[in-house]
Amino acid sequence: MAKVRQGAGGAAGRDYKAGPGGLEARGFAQWYVDLEIERLKALDFEAVTEMAAVLEDARANGKRIFLAGNGGSAALASGFCTDFCKTAAGDGKPLLKALSLTDNGSYLTAVGNDIGFDSVFSRQLENWLEKGDVVLLISGSGDSPDVIKAAEYAKARGAKVLAMTGFDGGRLKPLADICLHVPCDQYGVIEDLHQAACHILTFYLGQSR
């Protein structure tokens, strides 16, 4: 029987599969790799294609791309921001204007302490978001309250909302204009595929005409 732990998502909570249980390291590694290959082969290419078009449009029109997530997804948001700003740069093309909402610790803690953790991303968007900008939200559970609030605020301000989710997509999936959903209950695999999607988008944008 799979070992189950209480997962992330704030008050939303999630049950996630750590693994099948009872395996030695080699057997566990094989199980994990097999699951990852299965999910990678099923990657939603249509969503990737649509996200690429949105990012290309933002680049061409000087719009900003804001990224956010919690925990491992916060680290992904920071990494995506670096990849979009630096690695996706191509000769003769405008630069992507990407900003991670997870990187300003003093702002995050000020909002969390004085207003509430649910507002740590939406309150930052109040300062900077303009109509036509893009907000990319990364959440395995799709139910993190701060991410949901950011999505709702972005849509109300006329921004394009992109999402990367796992499990059943949570509340974020239907809120997003485009959602790259990884239907899986293993957090590591979900985050690995989100990272892979970012690399696909990054290197595509770097070589696209």
CATH number at residue 198: 3.40.50.10490
What is the torsional sign of CA 25, 14, 114, 69? positive
3-class DSSP assignment, residue 95 = coil
Q: Within a domain: residue 31? A: no
3-class DSSP assignment, residue 204 = helix
The pLDDT of 9-25, averaged and rounded, is: 71
Q: Within a domain: residue 8? A: no
Q: Within a domain: residue 137? A: yes
Model pTM score: 0.92
The pLDDT of 141-147, averaged and rounded, is: 97
Q: Within a domain: residue 171? A: yes
Identify the DSSP state of 83. Answer: I
Identify the DSSP state of 137. Answer: E
* Maximum distance among all Cα pairs of the chain, rounded to whole angstroms: 55
At residue 183, the pLDDT reads: 97
Contact 141, 167 (CB under 8 A): yes
What whole-number distance in Å separates Cα of residue 49 and Cα of residue 121? 26
Domain count, the chain: 1
The pLDDT of 99-112, averaged and rounded, is: 98
Q: Within a domain: residue 55? A: yes
At residue 3, the pLDDT reads: 38
pLDDT at 7 over 90: no
Amino acid at 93: K
At residue 14, the pLDDT reads: 53
Contact 58, 133 (CB under 8 A): yes
pLDDT at 32 over 90: yes
Q: Containing domain of residue 99, as a range?
A: 43-207
At residue 53, the pLDDT reads: 98
Q: Within a domain: residue 18? A: no
Q: Within a domain: residue 49? A: yes
Q: Within a domain: residue 77? A: yes
